[in-house]
Amino acid sequence: MAVPVRFKGVAQAFDQVAARVRVCESSGSEHSPAESLTDLSDLVNSFLERDVQGGDGDKRENEHDDCQSDCSGDSDTRDLLRKILSDLDNDDYRERIHGEAEKACRVIGNRSAPDFKSRLMAQLREKGFDAG
């Protein structure tokens, strides 16, 4: 069965973006080669073809069951995030984080440096914050 024209247009859009992205210089954080962007387009196209053709209903049901088992952990994560965010309502703590982040940015300097974020997190960790 042929893929509808609309889906082919989406695949072409992926190809165009992939071509532009390949020109950009890497920051070194990517773990896959540039060809993976083309692979992504192929993957999306094959997914859309499978969806148009009807695909595997059993496989989708299994994926749904997997999601249900994974979703139980989501409620724990959601509760943890709510607790953390409620703790951030403390203005003194929020101001301390903001102040330390500003100081770290001044120390690091060039915000367009490829390692800016990792250096910022390191500075905040040194100050006792859980910065990822």
pTM: 0.32
pLDDT digits (tens, 9 = 90+) for 92-129: 777 788 788 888 888 888 888 888 888 888 888 888 87
In this predicted model, what pLDDT tens digit does every residue of 55-95 receive, in sequence order?
A: 554 454 455 455 555 555 677 777 776 666 666 556 777 77
Single-letter amino acid, residue 5: V
Q: What angle do CA 94, 95, 101 make, to 5 degrees?
A: 90
